[in-house]
Structure 1
Amino acid sequence: MAGWALCMALVMAALAGAVGESRYEKFLRQHVDHPRTSTLAAHRYCETMLARRQVTAPGRPCKPSNTFVHAPAEELVAACTQTPDAAGFHSTPTPMGLTACRLRGGDTRPPCAYRARQLHQHVRVACVGGLPVHLAGTHAPS
């Protein structure tokens, strides 16, 4: 229940302009969609979510790629307790459901068109103060 309240508070803050959001709050806004928003047409998921979460916006260039994780934020926080790799990133111990959004075509100005791929992979994050602040990538299960 507390996770739901946090999620709703973050969504409301994002819609209100999210002035002064922390790096962790920005990470959640840009990368966590749990449970996955299912009311969207599959082929429009990326465009809609990136606009709704203010990752893309009129007057700003299109983001080349973005990944949404369909797992509770607590599971990404738990990744920060894992031993970091040589680059200093922490990986989730289990694979998670993801939607990987990649910009289609060469145009980097809105309207942005994305290709969505559904994946089930481990997530690599950078952590500060025990919280994820950057999604560094994903990798397939061993």
Structure 2
Amino acid sequence: MASWVLCMTLVLAALAGALGETHYEKFLRQHVDNPRTPTLAAHRYCETMLARRQVTAPGRPCKPSNTFVHAPAADLVAACSQAPDPATGFHSTPSAMSLTACRLRGGNTRPPCAYRARQLQHHVRVACRDGLPVHLAGTSAGPQ
């Protein structure tokens, strides 16, 4: 009985933690890594970061792609003060930022997930809510 109570307590605590995360906090967890986290091998960056940030997890499908921005969160917040693109409603950073684009390799959609990493200098497009970025909508080599 005691082990069941402990198990339920841990499950409820985990759910409370997940429910307590705002959209902005989730955005930061999934997309901002500043300064860039060093890893043992550069080609393992995506697998390491996606697992560490709980973007991929056992029992869930592999995320097809994810981008980590290596700039201060304040620079992405500042993008929300830029005029949105009239066609999409997304806000774009005025300058290019260093980022790592992770793309799923092969056809395996279940963990363990294998990713290809590309280092880029791109503008970042975000969706904003209440002046904060909440969704990374994409990147582009030039301003949009």
Interval of TM-score (by shorter of Structure 1 and Structure 2): 0.7 to 0.9
d(CA) in 1 for partners of 2:34, 2:40: 14
RMSD between superposed Cα atoms in Å = 1.6
Q: CA deviation at 1:17?
A: 5.0
Q: How many residues align?
A: 128
Corresponding residue SS for 1:44: helix
* Aligned 8 A contact 2:32 2:73 in 1: yes
- Tell me which amino acid in the other structure corresponds to 2:42: A
Map of 1:60 onto structure 2: 60
Determine the structure 2 residue equivalent to 1:24. Answer: 24
Alignment match, 2:123:
122
3-state DSSP class of the match of 2:30? helix
Secondary structure of 2:135's aligned partner: strand
Partner of 2:74: 74
- The alpha-carbon deviation at position 38 of structure 1 amounts to 1.4
TM normalised by structure 1 equals 0.86
Unaligned runs of 5+ in 2: 1-13
Q: Which has the larger radius of gyration?
A: 2
Task: Tell me the alpha carbon deviations over residues 12-54 of structure 1, each in whole angstroms, 9 at most, x when there is no partner.
Answer: xx9x954420000000000000000013410100000000000
Aligned pair 1:44/2:75, yes or no?
no
User: TM-score, length-normalised on structure 2?
Assistant: 0.85
Structure 1, unpaired ranges of 5+: 1-13
Deviation >4 Å, runs of 4+:
none
Residue type of the alignment partner of 1:95: A
- Tell me what 2:140 maps to: 139
Deviations 1:74-120 (A, max 9, x none): 00000000000021000000000000000000010000000000000
Q: Percent identity?
A: 84
Distance 1:33 1:118 in 2: 13
Q: 2-side partners of 1:117 and 1:40: how far apart?
A: 17
Structure 1 residues 131 and 59, CA gap change in structure 2 (3 angstroms): same
Determine the C-alpha separation between the residues in 2 that align with 1:44 and 1:19.
30
